[in-house]
Amino acid sequence: MALYRKVALVTGGAQGIGRAVAEALLKNESKVALVDLNTKVGEDCKKVLDQEFGEGNCIFIQCDVADRGKLKDAFETTVEKFGKLDIVINNAGINNEKNWEKTIEVNLTSLIKGTYLALEHMSKEYGKDGGVIINVSSMAAFLHSPHQPVYTATKHGVIGFSRAMADAAEEGDYGVRINVLCPAFVDTPLLQSIEQEDNMGKFIKYKDVFKEKIHKYGVLQPSQIAEGMLKLITDSGLNGAVMKITCSKGIHFHTYEPLSA
Ligand SMILES: NC(=O)C1=CN([C@@H]2O[C@H](COP(=O)(O)OP(=O)(O)OC[C@H]3O[C@@H](n4cnc5c(N)ncnc54)[C@H](O)[C@@H]3O)[C@@H](O)[C@H]2O)C=CC1
Ligand SMILES: CCCCCC(=O)/C=C/[C@H]1[C@H](O)CC(=O)[C@@H]1CCCCCCC(=O)O
C-alpha cells in the first residue's frame, strides 16, 4: 500500500509511539487523525504537526478508547473530515496493575472494538475499499516477568485476537490486512510508569529487577518503532504477521509452526 493521500486513524496518537507513527505517516503525505484521551497533549501535538506538515493534514479527536460511543464517533469524524479510511493503528495502551480491569479494558477490549470499527469502515464485507489494521502488542507477549501480569496477559491477547482476525479477513476476502507490532522497551512516558506505585500496586517491589532488564536489553527510540510500523502498513504481502523490534535484533518477525490439519 502506498501512503500518498491515505487516511490513517491512530489511537494514543498524541505522544510516544503513536505520535512517532503519526509523524512518519504525515511525512509520507498521509492524512492522520490523532485519537487520544489527553486533550492538552493532543492539542499541542496537532499544533506542532501542523507547523511541520501544514494545516489540514492532521486532526486531533479527544476520545477515551474505552468509551464505545466516543470511539465510534472518532471513526465517523475521521471519515467525515478526510472522506475515507485506509489505515487504523490500535496503539493506545496503559500499564496499570493496580487498576488491572482498566488495563484489560484499554489494552485489549478497546483494541478489539477498534478492530471491529475499522472493519466496518474498510472491509469489503461492508462495501468498503479495503485497508490495513496494525494492533500494538509488546515483547512482554514473548518474555513474561513477574512485574506486569495483567499487562502481559493483554499483550498475549492482542496477538491471539489479531492473528485469528487476520485469518478471518483472508477467508472472508475482507480486503483488509491485520498485523501486530511488538516493541521491546521504548523511550516514552509509559516506561516511567514502572516506578509508580499508583500504576504497579504490589508489583512495585520488582521495579529494580525491571530496571535491570531495561539496562540489559536497552531502550529503543519511537522513530524505530515507526519505521517497523510503516513496513507492516505498506508491505501488501503481510497479513497475520507479528513483528518484533528489539535493540539486539532490530526489526524482525516472529515465526510460527505451520498450522496442522
Ligand atoms: N513504551 C514501551 O516501552 C512500550 C510500549 N508498548 C505499547 O505501545 C503502545 C503505546 O505506548 P507508548 O507510546 O509507550 O505510551 P505513552 O504512554 O507514551 O502514550 C500512550 C498514549 O495513549 C493515550 N491513551 C492512554 N489511554 C488512553 C485511552 N483510554 N484512550 C485514548 N488514548 C489513551 C495516552 O494519552 C498517550 O498519549 C501501548 O500499547 C504500549 O503498551 C509496547 C512495548 C513497549
Ligand atoms: C509498560 C512499560 C513498558 C513495557 C515494555 C514491555 O513491553 C516490556 C516487556 C518486558 C517484560 O516485562 C519482561 C521482559 O523481559 C520484556 C522486555 C523484553 C525485551 C527483550 C529484548 C530482547 C533482545 O534484545 O533480544
In tens, the pLDDT along 226-244 reads 999 999 999 999 999 999 9
* pTM exceeding 0.95: yes
**How many A from CA of 256 to the centre of ligand 2?**
20
Q: Which residues of 123-151 are buried (b: 16+ CB within 10 A; e: fewer)?
A: beeeebeebbbbbbbbbbbbeeeebbebb
Q: What percent of the chain lies above the pLDDT cut of 90?
A: 97
d(CA 125, CA 121): 10
Look up the ipTM and state it: 0.97
Q: What confidence score (pLDDT) does residue 261 get?
A: 58
Residue 183 per-residue DSSP state = E
Q: Which of 4, 151, 174, 256 is catalytic?
A: 151
Cell digits of residue 125: 464485507
The verdict on whether 151 is a catalytic residue reads: yes
Closest residue CA from atom 23 of ligand 1 = 12
Average model confidence (pLDDT) across the chain: 97
Residue 126 per-residue DSSP state = G
d(CA 175, CA 157): 23
> Rounded to whole angstroms, what are the CA distances from 160 to 1, 7, 103, 165, 180?
25, 27, 17, 9, 10
> Does residue 148 have its Cβ closer than 6 Å to ligand 2?
yes
Cell digits of residue 58: 492532521
Q: Is the pLDDT of residue 260 over 90?
A: no
Q: What confidence score (pLDDT) does residue 119 get?
A: 98
Residue 220 per-residue DSSP state = B
